[in-house]
Amino acid sequence: MPLLLSPYHSSFSVVSNSTPRLLSWILWTSWLHIAWLHFRSSQKQARLLEREREREMKGTYGMLIVIFMFQIHQAAVCGTQLHNVSKFVQKVPVASAGRKYDFIYLVQQWQISLCNIKSCLKPARPAFSIHGLWPSTYSTKTPSNCTATVSKFAPQKISDLKDRLDMEWPSLLQESNYELWKEEWESHGSCSQAMLPQHAFFETALRLKEKYKLQEMLAEKDIYPFGNLYRLDGIIDAIATATGHKPQIQCSLYKQVPLLSNVFLCFDYNATNIIDCPVKKRCRYDEIMIPYYMFGSRRN
């Protein structure tokens, strides 16, 4: 008996036979689309990474340039410092190896301030007088009594300087000026006697005081001992302008009024050239007075 097929049988067979191909084509195109999207995403990420690397490299190059320029600057500074040190060493005589000091202070005191604060045995003048010539170091406190073999103070060695010393280096707290000179020589002159023997020590102090007239320097900036308060930095600037180098200023308090007591000028080891004093704060007040007269009652 012949097989009878419905009108839809043939069509159903065709559809049934083509379904796997259609599904395969759909899957294949979907995979290609996904692969394409993945490829595009990978390219985009690669471009982002490349840009990030470029930014990092630019930053690294910039930092390297900064470091390189800094190293060049440091090398230049160090070279200058070494050159300056070399020049300094060349200038120092061989005999200086045994020195116990680096530079010398010329200390001048304002007499009226001293005698307002302490009980003076002699009348004070409104003037600066020598307090001392002190060999000093940059690393430690001012040396004193440097050697047991210091030559004893001999007044006859400075007899030709006596009149000038009486005027410019008087002892206001002792009866005899010789007592002060002996003390200064044995305490401070002992540290520089190889460079400045006794006569040269006292003559140098007189010469430097005569050359660097503090009252004239201050007057150039309208600073006078009239009992007014002056700014400390103004006094420092007045002296620095005149000498070309920074001094140190010391003050003392009298009845809540800060008085200028000592001015320190600094010189090289043989007291030939004036130099900047080390940074050292000897006065903690912003304004100080240079008194012209005694205030009356004094304290010890």
Catalytic residue among 73, 179, 188, 245: 188
Give alpha helix (H) positions in 92-189: 111-117, 162-168, 177-184
- Read off the pLDDT band of 190 (50, 70, 90): confident
- For residue 292, how many C-alpha atoms fall within 13 Å in the half-sphere facing its CB? 8
pLDDT at residue 148 in the model: 60
Q: 262, 108 in Cβ contact below 8 A?
A: yes
SS3 per-residue string spanning 65-83: HHHHHHHHHHHHHHHHHHH
Q: Mark whether 33 is an active-site residue.
A: no
Active-site residue identified among 184, 186, 203, 220: 184
Which residues, including other chains, have CB under 8 Å from residue 158's CB and lie 6 or more apart? Answer: 165, 181, 198, 199, 202, 203
Cite the DSSP H helix spans in the chain.
9-91, 111-117, 162-168, 177-184, 190-192, 198-211, 214-219, 232-243
Tens of pLDDT, residue by residue over 55-93, are 666 665 566 665 656 666 665 554 544 444 344 433 433
- Alpha carbons 34 and 47: distance in angstroms, whole number: 20
Any idea where the domains of the chain sit in the sequence? Answer: 18-91, 100-289
Query: How many Å separate Cα 149 from the centre of its chain?
Result: 37
**In the predicted structure, residue 130 carries a pLDDT above the cut 90:** yes
- Higher-confidence position of 146 and 8: 146
Tell me which of 278 and 27 has the higher pLDDT: 278
Q: 122 vs 174, 209, 219, 300, CA distance in Å?
A: 8, 21, 27, 15
Instruction: Evaluate if residue 297 carries a pLDDT over 50.
Output: no
Confidence band, pLDDT 50/70/90 cuts, at residue 97: very low
Residue 289 has pLDDT above 70, yes or no: yes
Question: Which among 131, 175, 203, 216 is annotated as catalytic?
Answer: 131
pLDDT reading at 46 higher than 80: no
> At residue 45, does pLDDT exceed 80?
no
Q: How far apart are CA 35 and CA 22, in angstroms?
A: 20
Q: How would residue 24 be classed by pLDDT, with cut points 50, 70 and 90?
A: confident
What is the CATH superfamily name and number for domain 100-289? Ribonuclease T2-like (3.90.730.10)
In the predicted structure, residue 7 carries a pLDDT above the cut 50: no
Q: Are the beta carbons of 101 and 143 closer than 8 angstroms?
A: yes
Closest CA to 157 of 129, 135, 185: 185
Active site residue 131: yes
